[in-house]
Amino acid sequence: MAEHRSMQRGALLDAARSLLSEGGTEALTFPALAERTGLARSSVYEYFRSRAAVVEELCEVDFPVWAAEVSTAMERAGTPEGKVEAYVREQLSLVGDRRHRAVVAISASELDSGAREKIRAAHGGLVAMIVEALADMGHTEPRLAAMLLQGVVDAAVRRIELGAAEDPSVITEAAVSMALRGVSG
């Protein structure tokens, strides 16, 4: 029975990922989850007490995996500049990935403090790595620089997700160039 329950829970999380990546947080409703999984709506409530609970579990499952992929790419880079470039590139390469879409949709939404704490912890590890790389590059305010850099990444993510006029590779190169050389290009 436990195995069956865990399969259904997995199916619900997968349906939640799809809904989030297709329509953002508004699309994630219990009726939609029930419809996607073929479960009765009452069954969905047996697994999750609220939409926030679904989101929280997705964060717990997906965010650390996503963060690990970015941090692995950064560890492979030999230089601080290489780490910054990997940080930008890897985040943007994950844009088409449904898990990443879900994470983006989630981080933009109303989360309860428990979920926010877990995301902050996973995100904190990434931020610590980028702060260190920026400090090694000689930034006097590496924390501030890290926040601004993430702003560039977030803007690039949104631009790719919107299906902007530019090819995603063009957006990625522009973001990397801005991260490494500022607006002087």
Write down the pLDDT at residue 128.
Answer: 86
Q: Is the pLDDT of residue 108 over 60?
A: no
Please report, to the nearest 10 degrees, the dihedral formed by the alpha carbons of residues 37, 3, 98, 49 taken in order. Answer: 60
CA distances from 20 to 11, 99, 121, 160, 163 (A): 14, 9, 22, 16, 17
Reported as a pLDDT band with limits 50, 70 and 90, residue 100 is low
Whole-structure pTM value = 0.74
Write down the pLDDT at residue 185.
Answer: 63
Identity of the residue numbered 100 = H
Phi, psi (rounded to 5 degrees) for 38: 75, 10
Asked if 16 and 54 count as a contact pair (C-beta separation under 8 A), the reply is: yes
Write down the pLDDT at residue 111.
Answer: 61
The tens digit of pLDDT for each residue in 41-93 reads 999 999 998 887 888 788 778 878 888 889 999 999 999 999 999 999 998 98
Distance CA 178, CA 6 (A): 44
Write down the pLDDT at residue 103.
Answer: 65
Distance CA 152, CA 175 (A): 7
